[in-house]
Amino acid sequence: MQTLVANHPLVAHKLTALRDAATEAPTFRRLADELVTLLAYEATREMRVQPITVQTPVGAARGVKLARPVPLVVPVLRAGIGMLDGMARLLPMADVGFVGLVRDEESLIASAYADRLPTDLTGRDTFVLDPMLATGGTLETVIGMLSGRGAATVTAVCLLAAPEGIDRLAAAFPDGGAVPVRVVTATIDERLNDRGYIVPGLGDAGDRLFGKI
């Protein structure tokens, strides 16, 4: 597994404002949206393209277009929905699937309650949106689902990551395994606390985006 930490002053600036407990939901949503678009630029760096030639007003220009089949973007419910617009801004042609997982707060084990993914992902680049890579349990499950359906690549786009989650995914999806896996994140924080929250993190991403339910 490859891990890419986006090292950019705009990313750091927006992330700091996101972390601030005084940042209210409307601003939090806007910052998350902008941050995802910056991360999406890095996350799509390895996308496959095919050569084409277009006619400019002055002559022929060789260029590229994104290869088919179109990529699949998969927000993980609920918090991943807050990342969808920011990703779709760079990949408007992508299909969108949805996965819902719930984490048992005692055991921290993730189980699926919604699976709206194509059954065949052969040859497709896939992008999973989940703001918090904490224990890695959710992403391990989702990446396993995508890999099992034949995805060509899986890139997880996360606002924040914990070292524990990175280590777990690296062990589950080693280089040379069934599918190449990348994690793109704005930062890797210190650790998880005993409730599975990232420290210092930003709290519960779903609650901060959409309110407590």
**Which residues here bind ligand URA, judged by CB under 6 A?**
132, 134, 196-198, 201, 204-206
Q: Which is nearer to ligand URA, 85 or 164 (CB)?
A: 164
Please report the sign of the dihedral spanned by the C-alpha atoms of residue 192, residue 44, residue 101, residue 167: negative
Sole residue written with tokens 């996350």: 43
Please choose, from the candidates 87, 96, 94, the residue with its C-alpha nearest in 3D space to the C-alpha of residue 38: 87
Least distance CB 123 / ligand URA (angstroms): 32
Least distance CB 70 / ligand URA (angstroms): 29
User: Residue 147 — φ and ψ, nearest 5°?
Assistant: -65, -40
Least distance CB 141 / ligand URA (angstroms): 14
Please choose, from the candidates 174, 151, 158, the residue with its C-alpha nearest in 3D space to the C-alpha of residue 48: 151
Least distance CB 20 / ligand URA (angstroms): 15
Q: Which is nearer to ligand URA, 106 or 175 (CB)?
A: 106
Secondary structure E strands in the chain = 2-5, 49-55, 60-66, 72-77, 95-96, 98-103, 110-116, 125-129, 132-133, 153-161, 181-188, 191-192, 198-199
Q: Which is nearer to ligand URA, 71 or 206 (CB)?
A: 206
CA distance linking residue 188 with residue 1, whole number of Å: 15
Q: Which is nearer to ligand URA, 105 or 175 (CB)?
A: 105
Least distance CB 14 / ligand URA (angstroms): 17
Q: Which is nearer to ligand URA, 43 or 76 (CB)?
A: 76
